[in-house]
């Protein structure tokens, strides 16, 4: 499955996160573990591609994200937990969409290592302005907080997001992707 992902996001302070959490009181959080894959010399990153295996309680998915003029084209392949475990232990991709997509772009399909794991507790709900996700992420010795809004229209989404932040007294802080934050901190550790 592939879809164009257009999202607005901001990092949050712990205090801002706690305040927003009240708006998600009816939502059951989902814990997801993100395992990032690349070669030791960051081959995919050099090609501006992010690859991860994300595991949930009873399922998993393999994803690559490829930047577009607006947003990212996201390719998702469903995996069982057993398939995900095999991929992570052997650093080998299963047959299917992701392998074919890498091949079709003339990109390497092997030589991966697991860079590490980032665990996110996500509260997600549909709102009038788009799909909103409130995230608490842990990696290395870091805990960070983030608000994401996934939208259909980038221009309108950007306006709606700014209005939401103002209405909730949240100061916009540029949020690099979770992968970028992970890698920056990986280099420090």
**CA dist., res. 3 & res. 46, Å (int):** 22
Token digits for 169? Answer: 């007294």
| CATH topology (fold) of 2-185 | Hypothetical Protein Pfu-838710-001 (2.40.320)
pTM, entire model: 0.90
**CA dist., res. 135 & res. 69, Å (int):** 26
Q: Are 16 and 145 in contact (CB under 8 A)?
A: yes
- Write down the pLDDT at residue 112: 94
The three-class DSSP label of residue 61 is strand
Q: The tokens 């690859």 sit on which residue?
A: 51
What residue spans define the domains of the chain? 2-185
pLDDT tens string 16-48: 999 999 999 999 999 999 999 999 999 999 999
- Write down the pLDDT at residue 3: 87
- Write down the pLDDT at residue 16: 98
Which of the residues in the chain have pLDDT under 70?
A: none
């Amino acid at each position: 499955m592939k879809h164009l992902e257009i999202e607005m996001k901001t990092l949050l302070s712990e205090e801002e996160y706690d305040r927003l959490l009240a708006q998600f009181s009816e939502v059951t959080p989902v814990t997801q573990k993100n395992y990032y894959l690349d070669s030791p010399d960051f081959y995919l990153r050099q090609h501006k591609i992010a690859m991860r295996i994300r595991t949930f309680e009873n399922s998993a998915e393999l994803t690559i994200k490829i930047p577009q003029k607006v947003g990212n084209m996201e390719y998702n392949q469903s995996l069982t937990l057993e398939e995900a475990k095999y991929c992570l232990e052997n650093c080998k991709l299963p047959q299917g969409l992701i392998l074919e997509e890498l091949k079709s772009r003339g990109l390497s399909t092997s030589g991966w290592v697991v860079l590490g794991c980032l665990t996110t507790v996500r509260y997600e709900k549909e709102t009038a302005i788009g799909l909103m996700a409130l995230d608490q992420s842990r990696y290395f010795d870091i805990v960070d907080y983030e608000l994401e809004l996934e939208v259909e229209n980038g221009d309108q989404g950007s306006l709606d997001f700014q209005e939401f932040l103002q209405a909730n007294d949240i100061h916009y802080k540029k949020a690099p992707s979770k992968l970028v934050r992970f890698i920056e901190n990986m280099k420090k550790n």
